[in-house]
Structure 1
Amino acid sequence: MGLDLYAKIEPFLDFEEEVYTLHKEFLRFVMTNDLDNIIDIGCGQGYFLENLKVNKKKYFGIDLSVEQIKVCQAKGLNAQAIALKDVKEKFDCATAIFDVLNYIPKEELKTFLKEIYFVLNKEAYFIFDVNSYFGFDEIAQGCITIDVEDKFIAIDANFEDEKLQTDITLFEKHENGLFSKEQDSIIQEYHSKEFLTKVLEETGFELIEIKEFNLHTDEIADKLIFICKK
Structure 2
Amino acid sequence: MSLDLYAKAEHLLGIEESTERLHDLYIQTLKKYPVKTLLDIGCGRGFLMEKVQELGMVCTGIDQSAVMVDAAAAKGLTAAKKGICEVEGSYDAAVAVFDVLNFLDKDGLFIFLQCVAQRLNPGGIFIADINTLHGFTDVAEGTMTNEDENHFLTVDAYFESEELHTEFTLFTKSSPECWVKEQSEIVQWFHPLKRFRNVPNLKLTHYKNISLYDTNDKMLLVFQAV
Structure 1 position 91 matched with structure 2 position 91:
yes
Normalised by the length of structure 1, the TM-score is 0.94
Which whole-Å deviations, capped at 9, do the CAs of 1:28-56 have from their partners, x for residues lacking one?
Answer: 11123231200011111212111112222
What percentage of residue pairs aligned between the two structures are identical?
34
2:168 corresponds to: 168
**Per-residue displacement from partner, 1:161-186 (whole Å, max 9, x unpaired)?**
11011100111111363111100111
Aligned equivalents of 1:121 and 1:208: distance in 2?
Answer: 16
* Residue 77 (str. 1) matches residue 74 (str. 2): no
Note the alpha carbon deviations across 1:84-113, whole angstroms, 9 max, x for none: 111111000010110100001112211111
Q: Gapped runs of 5+ residues in structure 1?
A: none
- Corresponding residue of 1:204: 201
State the Cα distance separating 1:143 from its structure 2 match: 0.6
1:157 partner amino acid: A
Aligned AA for 1:228?
F
Q: In the aligned structure 2, how far is the partner of 1:118 from the partner of 1:187?
A: 27
The code of the aligned residue for 1:70 comes to: D
Specify the alignment match of 1:225 in structure 2. Answer: 220
Residue of structure 1 equivalent to 2:100: 100
Partner letter of residue 77 of structure 2?
Answer: L
Mapping 1:123-202, distance limit 5 Å:
123-175=123-175, 177-198=177-198, 200=199
Unaligned stretches of 5+ in structure 2?
none
In 1: Cα distance, 2:88 partner to 2:194 partner: 31
Please give the root-mean-square deviation of Cα atoms over the aligned residues, in Å. 1.2
TM-score by length of 2: 0.96
Q: What is the one-letter code of the residue matched to 1:3?
A: L
CA contact (8 A) 2:12 2:147 kept: no
Instruction: Give runs of aligned pairs for residues 61-72 of structure 1, distance below 5 A.
Output: 61-72=61-72
Q: In the alignment, which residue of structure 2 is the partner of 1:25?
A: 25
Q: Helix, strand or coil for the counterpart of 1:20?
A: helix
- In 1, the alpha carbon distance for the partners of 2:142 and 2:76 equals 36
- Residue 59 (str. 1) matches residue 56 (str. 2): no
CA distance in 1, matches of 2:7, 2:208: 29
- Aligned residue identity for 1:224: M
SS of residue in 1 equivalent to 2:82: coil
In structure 2, what is the Cα distance between the partners aligned to 1:131 and 1:137? 10
Q: Work out the number of aligned pairs and report it.
A: 225
Separation in 2 of the partners of 1:147 and 1:111?
A: 38
State the match for 1:109 in structure 2: 109
Secondary structure of the 2:31 match is helix
For the residue of structure 1 that corresponds to 2:191, the secondary structure is coil
Aligned equivalents of 2:196 and 2:224: distance in 1? Answer: 14
